[in-house]
Amino acid sequence: MWQIYDALINGIPENLIVDELICGNGTSFVRSGNGSGISGFRPYETRMPMFSKNLIGASLREAATSVKSWNFAEASVGLAAINSYYNNPSVARKNGVDFSDARRVEDRMFSPFIMSQNEVRGKRIAVVGHFPYLEKLFEPICDLSIISWNPQEGDFPLSASEYLLPGSDYVYITSASIADKTLPRMLELSKNAQRITIVGPTTPLAPVFFDYGIADLSGFIIKDNPLAFRIIAGAERVRIYTAGQKVSFKKTLWEKNIGIRLESLYLT
């Protein structure tokens, strides 16, 4: 069950350290060098934390191991540490993630739900997590099931995943499932889906996900680290999206990027 977590952690270089860390009001922030990442967490702390020491200055890979913690606040620190590496603009671009250098970019351009409206028409769609405007975008055109930890009216509870995901054509899974450890089971239940997408600003833009049946990563790259720090710390009351850009990273683009690299290597 831990394979995907170990793959994410082991992909982080050993020489990186944690430069800044905040575990704020429901969201954690970690910066390492020029890269920073965030992660929200469930409001449950059922277990003691793995670490009691000061993680600022610690190895980023070590901090990332706390994503395995059953203390969800601490697990969010681990996921934020993972994101501070994979969602670092330079690392993401090297891996083939396409994004603009502009300070602000229209978020709607990279919404996975807007981008896939034509594909999902008439299909059975399951979305784990209740995202804004989801019903307006999908309900008129497909058979939509929304599954949530905290169901709103019309949603299904989390236990319905066992029944709904195996029969779904397209599955969208909240990135919160990484820190709360439901992701491995969600992927297993969704193995027959035509496409699986991980959605949310805490999605690691890590190509290793493509080895586990995931086709699309809908994530977020922070471009203004000081602003993101202030937002998570509560010093500025604006949306975190003002500090960066939503992005879409598809398996097909990764494979194309690898092909170009191999061709370039062969030519040289």
Rg (the chain; Cα; Å): 18
What is the overall mean pLDDT for the chain? 91
CA dist., res. 49 & res. 46, Å (int): 9
CA dist., res. 142 & res. 167, Å (int): 14
Instruction: Tell me what pLDDT residue 105 has.
Output: 65
Chain centre distance of CA 109: 18
**Whether 172 contacts 128, CB under 8 Å:** yes
CA dist., res. 232 & res. 216, Å (int): 27
Closest CA to 251 of 211, 205, 212, 210: 210
Q: Which 3 state secondary structure label does DSSP give 80? A: helix
Tell me the mean pLDDT in the region 89-97. 94
CA dist., res. 9 & res. 74, Å (int): 15
**Whether 147 contacts 127, CB under 8 Å:** yes
- Assigned token pair, 69: 């913690």
In this structure, of 68-72, 101-105, 245-249, the range with the lowest mean pLDDT score is 101-105
218 DSSP β-pair partners: 199, 248
Which residue matches tokens 């449950």?
Answer: 44
Q: Please state the pTM of the whole predicted model.
A: 0.92
Whether residue 260 is predicted with pLDDT greater than 80 in this model: the reply is: no
Instruction: Tell me what pLDDT residue 106 has.
Output: 62
Instruction: Tell me what pLDDT residue 174 has.
Output: 97
Which residue matches tokens 């977590």?
Answer: 5
Cα angle 13-80-164, degrees, rounded to a multiple of 5 = 115
Assign domain 98-221+245-267 one CATH number from 3.40.50.720, 3.40.309.10, 3.30.830.10, 3.40.50.11590. 3.40.50.11590
Instruction: Tell me what pLDDT residue 81 has.
Output: 98
What confidence tier does 109 reach under pLDDT thresholds 50, 70, 90? confident
Instruction: Tell me what pLDDT residue 268 has.
Output: 47
**Whether 82 contacts 37, CB under 8 Å:** yes
Is residue 151 exposed (0-12), middle (13-18) or buried (19+ Cβ within 10 Å)? middle
CA dist., res. 188 & res. 25, Å (int): 32
Whether residue 267 is predicted with pLDDT greater than 60 in this model: the reply is: no
CA dist., res. 97 & res. 175, Å (int): 18
Beta pairing class for 156-157 and 143-148: parallel
Instruction: Tell me what pLDDT residue 264 has.
Output: 47
Segment (H or E) for 35: strand 35-40
Pinpoint the residues of the chain covered by CATH 3.40.50.11590: 98-221+245-267
What tens digit of pLDDT does each residue of 12-69 get? 999 999 999 999 778 999 999 999 999 998 877 778 888 989 999 999 999 999 999 9
Q: What is the second-level CATH architecture of the domain 3-94? A: 2-Layer Sandwich (3.30)
What tens digit of pLDDT does each residue of 122-148 get? 999 999 999 988 999 999 999 999 999
Beta pairing class for 195-199 and 170-174: parallel
Pinpoint the residues of the chain covered by CATH 3.30.390.100: 3-94
Instruction: Tell me what pLDDT residue 266 has.
Output: 46
